[in-house]
Amino acid sequence: MFNVSANGATIPAIGFGTFRMPGADVLRMVPAVLKLGYRHVDTAQIYGNEAEVGEAIASSDVPRADIFLTTKVWVDKYRHDDFIRSVDESLKKLKTDYVDLLLLHWPQSDVSLAERIGALNEVRDAGKVRHIGVSNFNIALMAESVSLSKAPIVTNQVEYHPYLDQTAVLDAARKSGMSITAYYAMADGKVVGDPTIKAIAAAHGKSEAQVVLRWLAQQEGVVTLSKTVSEDRAKSNFEIFDFELSPGEMRALHALARPDGRIVSPRNLAPEWD
């Protein structure tokens, strides 16, 4: 298992994502992945499954202190009092007195970024949050967040897969000591069957998914999320630390990026992308 160091945070390089995962699947999968060795679990207020994530962690054999737990504040809770209240609600649902990482879920809002970053710092100062970050921010908003925050910003969670070039965002993050956390790594399933990825996978005796996850984890400062409701697939997704992609293979995967590669861009939430 690799860890990514970012502005004082030590983040397990592969996390288990729970986006669009019903509660019953969360209760089944989270203990299973913790047993497999995962130590990073990612949820959000809007996912509607924080309570199940909390129950699953509490009922597992892995101590809470050994788990890196992330959640995100939804955009309708950005005003200061709503923000603080929502974090308390999240902690109650998650059955914990702190989360390791709290993110602003999307940037678009009528609430000033200064107010939002101020609230992030406040809950961190109160000990409810170990680290703070953002999600779906462009380079300008990342820079503004860093300038507004007393505490270090440790990550920007963004869509990232071989079909989407995030070089500029990665470079900006690295210059600020931040990590990038990649979601939608499988590009909504498009990586499976891709000839380039398939050939690299065959050369290593690995699956396309394993190759893509390894490609992400092998990049400096990149954390990747993996989501599945299959225990077998979760096991396979975790088995990416016993092989290494060559520089040529890394370049071949980067070369798959295309101008229309972005999948997630809700008009009322997304920024102007870089």
Burial of 81 (0-12, 13-18, 19+ CB in 10 A): exposed
First-to-last C-alpha distance (Å) of the chain: 31
Q: How far is the C-alpha of 127 from the C-alpha of 116, rounded, in Å? A: 17
- Which residue type does 12 have? P
Q: How far is the C-alpha of 97 from the C-alpha of 16, rounded, in Å? A: 21
Q: For residue 186, what is the DSSP state?
A: T
Total number of residues shown for the chain: 274
Question: Is residue 155 a contact partner of residue 179, using CB atoms and an 8 Å limit?
Answer: yes
CA atoms within 13 A on the CB side of 219: 26
> Do the annotations mark residue 254 as ligand-binding?
no
Q: For residue 152, what is the DSSP state?
A: P
**Residues with catalytic annotation?**
47
Where would I find the H helices in the chain? 23-36, 50-59, 80-94, 113-125, 139-148, 167-175, 195-204, 208-217, 231-238, 247-254
Query: Which 3 state secondary structure label does DSSP give 224?
Result: strand
Q: How far is the C-alpha of 41 from the C-alpha of 136, rounded, in Å? A: 18
Q: Which residue carries 């050994």 as its tokens?
A: 66
Q: For residue 19, what is the DSSP state?
A: T
> Which residue ranges are tagged as binding site for substrate?
105
> Which residue ranges are tagged as binding site?
105
